[in-house]
Amino acid sequence: MGFFRMLKMDCRRLFQSRNFYLAAAGVFLIRIIGAFPDIRVSAGQNISLYSLMNYNSGSYSLILMALVALPFGLSYRDDVKYNYIHCVLSRGGREGYYWAHTLTAALGAFLAVLLGYGLSYLLLGFFFPAVSEVELESLRLGNLNAYENLITEGKPVLYLAARVVAESAGYGFLAVIPLVLSVWVSNSFLLFSASAVFYYASIVICSVLRLPDFTVWYLVMDYGGWIGKRIPEGQLLLFCVLVYFGCLVCLAGLLFSRLAERRQVNG
């Protein structure tokens, strides 16, 4: 069974599963509920989509990182559990199976976060402006990153879209982590928490060991990280961020395929 045929089957399985839509609905609710503290503290004054996007609650982020495993991150574990994997691998499509699962896991989380975020900001946009006048004046006087340059250029909607797509790409990468771990672990709690553990472990390791900037992927997910320091143009930065996370997904997919193949050989 070829890679593209397997990818088509996995995508059909992704969109036919209720888990994808549950994840998107969960992201939507988290973003809406997460906006309330900022709105309450500011008493509704000078609130904008820009300020809401830059307000992050740790507890909500943890839930979001767990949700990214829901669309397709547990697919390998389920295939092994229900012996579906033996039916597929008996046809000789091992590499296609591994890579199709990797890409579908990343794509499923990316689309679920993108859909949830998009709908939430669309709803909030009926009540709050993209950016307030006070924030706009402050941005014009400040040191901006490449995404924020889009706001001063009169493109606040493009700024919001770029930030949402970049963050969704990061969550797409995080969704592959439980897929890799599921080769050896079947416990649901461990798999759902794997992305959050990896995220915070990355922060600690990169900070303590002072690793090179290109390894600090979680900042790339936020404002562009080391890429944003070199590229002042927002659209080009977004493209580079997507390529960056695409490369990370491929590296994780390579690890997944090697570990899964070793498990099949060793039984």
pLDDT of residue 6: 86
pLDDT of 44 > 60? The answer is no
pLDDT above 70 coverage of the chain, percent:
93
Handedness of CA 183, 184, 186, 187 (dihedral sign): negative
What number is the average pLDDT over the span 144-149?
Answer: 84
Q: Identify which of 8-12, 79-83, 113-117 has the greatest average pLDDT.
A: 113-117
| pLDDT per residue as tens digits for the range 154-208 | 888 899 999 999 999 999 999 999 999 999 999 999 999 999 999 999 999 999 9
pLDDT of residue 41: 66
Residue 125 phi/psi, 5-degree rounding, is: -65, -20
Phi and psi based region of residue 43 (left: phi greater than 0; alpha: psi -120 to 50; beta: remaining): left
The pTM for the full model equals 0.92
- What interhelical angle do 156-181 and 234-266 show, nearest 10? 10
Nearest to 243 by CA among 132, 193, 169: 169
Nearest to 131 by CA among 113, 115, 155: 155
Handedness of CA 53, 61, 191, 197 (dihedral sign): positive
pLDDT of 113 > 90? The answer is yes
Higher pLDDT, 111 or 139: 111
pLDDT interval class at 131 (50, 70, 90): confident
C-alpha 80/C-alpha 14 separation (Å) is 17
